[in-house]
Amino acid sequence: MYDVASITVKAGTGGNGAITFRREKFVPRGGADGGDGGKGGDVVIAVRENSYLLRHLHYRKTFRAGDGGAGQKNNRTGRNGEDCVIEVPAGTIISEVTEDGDKKVVSEILYPDQRVVIASGGEGGRGNARFSRAENRVPLLAEVGEKTREKSLHLEVKLLADIGVIGMPNAGKSSLLRAASGAKPTVAEYPFTTLDPVLGVVEKGNEGLILVEVPGLIEGAHRGVGLGHEFLRHVARTRVLLHLVDGTSQKPLQDYFQLRTEMGLFDEALLKKPEVVVINKADVPEVQSKLPSLREEFGQQGLNISHMSAVTGENIGEIISAVSTLVGEGPNAEIMADTPVAVLMPQPRRGSIEIRKEEGTFILKSIRAERLVSRIDLHDWHARVQLWSEFERIGINRAMRQAGVKPGMTVKIGDIEVEWS
């Protein structure tokens, strides 16, 4: 009972900080006034109302938010990038796909107003006005905007059905679903025809009700017999139960209670769901003749029953109306306890510093250092002096000394190699 889609998303890159100076008479370069870059747009996942499937994501696979604009002179911050909003049905589980192909759950969309930022836009780079200090009136430093990476996402919607059609094998569930909704499950004249839940949508006024046919349950289902665990989980994700009883069975009441017993042994909460009990195959003369006795037999157990024929369509409209009334009055389907829990992966801290040595070259991993080096003219001696002064201030130089880096050694910062001095 799932619909899945695979997409690629990328948040917007932050805008670059500006290196500009005011024009003032008698003031060399007039002082720094380079503004910060704008923030990149976020990729947001939100609930799509009156939607049950991910079909619209089967055709569009790539989503990108807007990049932040570059900073401007006069301390003007660049524009922020436009967010990219992806709409999905309530009940959608979002997993990030790793390079190894593993899936890690990062969020689940459950509520109508819920919005999840699945990829945050990069921060804008600081302009050179941010680096102006008493000892450095002409800062030549600015940062590039924070870069973002593509993410591969796997989306899976765990469909929350309004009506769960349950019953013993061959009770006529598939025939009912086909007659009520136009869904076309594969059926045949033997038990366990349907091995997967089948969905159908019944138009009721301006709304659609989702019916799910839960494959036939047998004795031992609560222990997993006959895929029982999988089928019973689907029952848990419905709001109202339409319990079909095969009128041609030798022991209809026993069939009813056997299925109820399996449900209760799996989860007692299932027995509290609103339920409509219906004797099917009322078009068969044998069943018609024993309907009065069945009403009495079930009535002695406190059960009111209806009858229908999925073949002729007798009473189907009336029964769907009765069930839809219960849907409007009943609680929302409960989320199963075994629903995957979001795993929040730690993100690298912007102030963290990591140094390692590979084949004679020291690799410096520092977001702040990488963003500074990418924006500076390393051939400008004054800019290099200011860069090293900033490295000293934020602790880069001390970390390099502790790692054994000496002047003249090669250091790689991001994609740029420099000779340490």
DSSP 8-class letter at 352: -
- Indicate if the pLDDT at residue 184 is higher than 60: no
Question: Residue 233: phi, psi to the nearest 5?
Answer: -65, -40
Give tens-digit pLDDT for 356-406: 988 889 999 988 888 888 877 778 888 888 888 888 888 999 999 999 989
Sign of CA dihedral 89, 94, 99, 102: negative
- Predicted confidence at residue 16, as pLDDT, reads 94
3 state SS of 1: coil
- Predicted confidence at residue 227, as pLDDT, reads 39
- Predicted confidence at residue 183, as pLDDT, reads 52
Amino acid residing at 411: V
- Predicted confidence at residue 39, as pLDDT, reads 96
The continuous run of DSSP H or E covering 381 comes out as helix 381-393
- Indicate if the pLDDT at residue 271 is higher than 80: yes
Domain boundaries, the chain: 2-158, 161-329, 354-419
Q: For the chain, give the number of residues.
A: 421
Average pLDDT, the chain: 81
Question: In CATH, which superfamily holds the domain spanning 2-158?
Answer: GTP1/OBG domain (2.70.210.12)
Is there a contact between 375 and 143 (Cβ–Cβ < 8 Å)? yes
- Mean pLDDT of all residues in 179-183: 67
- Could you tell me which of 366, 381, 375 has the C-alpha nearest to residue 141? 375
For 354-419, CATH gives: 3.30.300.350
Cβ neighbours of residue 208 under 8 Å, at least 6 residues apart?
A: 50, 201, 202
- Model confidence at 332, in pLDDT bands (50, 70, 90)? low
- Name which CATH class applies to 161-329: alpha beta
Amino acid residing at 295: R
- Residue with the bigger pLDDT between 147 and 237: it is 147
**Cα gap 154→237, rounded to integer Å:** 21
Give tens-digit pLDDT for 305-325: 999 998 888 998 898 888 888
**Cα gap 156→159, rounded to integer Å:** 9
The continuous run of DSSP H or E covering 393 comes out as helix 381-393
Q: Which of 54-58, 127-131, 204-208 has the lowest mean pLDDT?
A: 204-208
